[in-house]
Structure 1
């Protein structure tokens, strides 16, 4: 085992990633599979995870994942601009008192952030 650790340390230093752990490769593989659209159950079999709870700990959600999700949401909302915004409801199709703003506001906020960050 000592030979492997020594070889690993030399390899990661050679590529300029001295803090990289061997286990990070598993996290990267899981993240890349999910981003590529591989179903969770299939990715779990490939990575050797037996439970969804442990598998989800390996799934790294980055800012670009969040922005992608907002872009997908925005596209869905733009597909039918006359469709009303969705409110959380209590089972009788009435907005709950905690629902102050329609979900569409999230997309508008993201647009504003994109213009001010760049």
Structure 2
């Protein structure tokens, strides 16, 4: 879709005449007509005003592309009982148990 087609479509959706739009943008009606027929292109300031007036992004105005749909992902909740913590706890418990068991076993086996 061309810029001129987009301006014409968006203007019609807002129920504005070319004269109404020209008045808002402080240009002549002929300028709006030339934009809509792609005979000329509005300057950047006017493009920005058009996008604000029509409630679209500059990209949407110029290309006619629909805005991408934003998909919100829910935040990740971290559980305090994560499997990694459980494994680390089990390993530490086993090491402490072995640290207690080895000296006891070595001390008891060497009787004279």
Note whether the superposition's TM-score is higher than 0.5: no
Scaled to the shorter chain, the TM-score interval is under 0.3
Normalising by structure 2, we get a TM-score of 0.23
Normalising by structure 1, we get a TM-score of 0.22
Which of the pair has the greater relative contact order for Cα pairs under 8 Å at 6+ separation?
2
